[in-house]
Structure 1
Amino acid sequence: MLRSAAESSAAPRAGGQWAVVVPAKSLDRAKSRMTTELSGPTRRRLVRAMLLDVIAAALRCPAVDTVAVVTADDELASLAAGAGARVLSEFEEQSAEPVVVSGGDRTFRYAAAVGLSWARRGTPPLYRRVAVLASDLPGISEGELLSALEAATHVERGFVPDADSAGTTMATFNAGGESGEDLRTFFGADSAREFAASGAHDLAEGARWVGLRRDVDSVAHLNHISDLGEHTTLFVDSWLADGPGTHEQRSLGKMKG
């Protein structure tokens, strides 16, 4: 069974003011668009590696106090807790009803809303500054995240569009506000436009955040990331070293060319 946030609390950190919420889809559902490129076991290994790299980068960022992974998957929950993150069950009872906007990636939007609801607990709330971060950013660095969070401190709500300027890789909120309307989450296809239309500020204007904006939905996306995180690099190296060259290995091997 998934542990509650109280049971899986990471040690408190000094200096950071931000809570980073990372929704993580169950392993049998995550990266479903890659099923034609990668076998089930390979795809699951990639999902685990990317999540670990996102958690590690967030925990290294000096502006971050805690990382909370929201998932319904026992294996990912154990992995996240072992990496130093808090774990929130998607089905955990919340003190405030999550505000979920219809459309887009429903699972991600709901998990993001659960994390925001958790951050608002208490008076004053646990965290006033909350960032919801995608779990498939293997090129993210703590420097990019710090730069984005510093920009976000000047706005009530912000978002970072993905490399294609269609989806969203991060959204930031002032969770201390009274209105649930200020905590609406838009993730999935065309979510960048939805965030902009809702009045959120585009944090990426003028910035060069290659790792923060490149989420991975295909092997080709991996090939476009020059600085992969430690865990995703180990995944790629291990996979390329396994057995005879397959279609998967030839695709991944482009990164080594």
Structure 2
Amino acid sequence: MSQPRWAVVVPVKPLAVAKSRLRGALPGVPHEELALALAADTLRAVLACPAVAEVLVVTDDARVAAAARAAGARVLPDEPNAGLNAALRHGAAGARGWVAGITADVPALRPTELTGALLAARNSRPTVRRFLPDTPGEGTVLLTAPPGKPLDPRFGVGSALAHAASGALPLDGDWPSLRRDVDTAADLAEADRLGLGPRTAALVAAGRPARSAG
């Protein structure tokens, strides 16, 4: 039996306010360029995942929308200041079948790891929502819902506990590139060690201090 293919929702904040804790992480690199690179590399990996049939980017940022359309995603308008969970609900409402929501800040993501997580969600307890905690274990990077069930996102501080309390079950798997979201300069360095996507990698290289010749 062939595996179902997924609709994946990727919410992206306006670049001017996105990833505020990363501001200044790469000296000489404009913050909005870094925020866009994180989202673009995340989106690139999601679109390359063979388990994914459609990607819905929810944003009200014109640059993000243009990049998403150019990459092959469908763009849905976000309501200003509505928040991450509202954006995820909006995107999921426009999808059918198996639905997942993923944060737009996993720039080291490997398509094979996302495939593995989606297959695990489908094949293990397939009638319930599943979530994948981030590397520290307190946040969430991926939330899935089977057909007929609302995604019901609870992203924010302590979202792993919030998703568990809402009835979602955690996913267990060795998917380091998927679990490594980037909120701080230290997170970015760890994602760099895992292997960044091309757009973020180029900015990290540009922002890295040049070595002296002696």
**In which range does the TM-score fall when normalised by the shorter chain?**
0.7 to 0.9
8 A Cα contact 1:162 1:215, kept in partner: yes
Distance 1:44 1:57 in 2: 20
Deviations, residues 142-181 of structure 1 (Å, cap 9, x unaligned): 010000000111322100101111110010012424xxxx
Given the alignment of the two structures, is residue 217 of structure 1 paired with residue 183 of structure 2, yes or no? yes
Deviates more, 1:134-143 or 1:27-36: 27-36
Of the three residues 156, 160, 169, the one matched with 2:141 is 169
CA 1:39–1:237 in 2, change beyond 3 Å: closer, same or farther? closer
Of the three residues 20, 24, 28, the one matched with 2:12 is 24
Deviations, residues 41-96 of structure 1 (Å, cap 9, x unaligned): 6221111111111111111111100111100111111111111111010149xxxx
TM-score by length of 1: 0.74
8 A Cα contact 2:4 2:98, kept in partner: no
* 1:162 partner letter: D
Distance 1:40 1:151 in 2: 41
The aligned length equals: 204
2:137 partner SS: coil
Higher RCO (CA 8 Å, separation ≥ 6 residues): 2
8 A Cα contact 1:116 1:175, kept in partner: no
Unaligned segments of structure 2, at least 5 residues: none
Give me the identity figure in percent. 40
Unaligned segments of structure 1, at least 5 residues: 1-14, 93-104, 120-126, 251-257
1:26 partner SS: coil
8 A Cα contact 1:16 1:62, kept in partner: no
TM-score by length of 2: 0.88
> Following superposition, which runs of at least 4 residues in structure 1 exceed 6 angstroms of deviation?
none
Distance 2:108 2:92 in 1: 25
* 1:108 partner letter: L
Match of 1:34 in 2: 22
Deviates more, 1:106-115 or 1:30-39: 30-39
RMSD across aligned positions (CA)? 2.2
Distance 2:60 2:185 in 1: 25
